[in-house]
Amino acid sequence: MHDDVVHADRHGAVVIPAEAVRQLPIAIELITRKEAVILDMCKRDDFDIHKLKEALAKSEDIH
């Protein structure tokens, strides 16, 4: 437990077990790629709810 990582911000705190820390870069990269699809769509001038649904579906296909 003394090697666990604690992350805290204005949304709360989470304890990451030491044995999971090595997997963080892979998880972060995956989430970043999934979010990029959604955020890029939201920045478009032609953004609407249909495009958001499309982006959400595309983000689910990223593994």
Instruction: Give tens-digit pLDDT for 7-38.
Output: 999 999 999 999 999 999 999 999 999 999 99
**Is the pLDDT confidence value at 1 over 80?**
no
Given this model, what pLDDT does residue 2 score? 83
State the chain's maximal CA–CA distance in angstroms.
50
Per domain, the residue ranges of the chain are 20-63
Interval 46-55 mean pLDDT = 96
**If DSSP codes are grouped into helix, strand and coil, which group holds residue 9?**
strand
Local confidence band at 44 (pLDDT 50, 70, 90 cut-offs): very high
Count of positions (residues) in the chain: 63
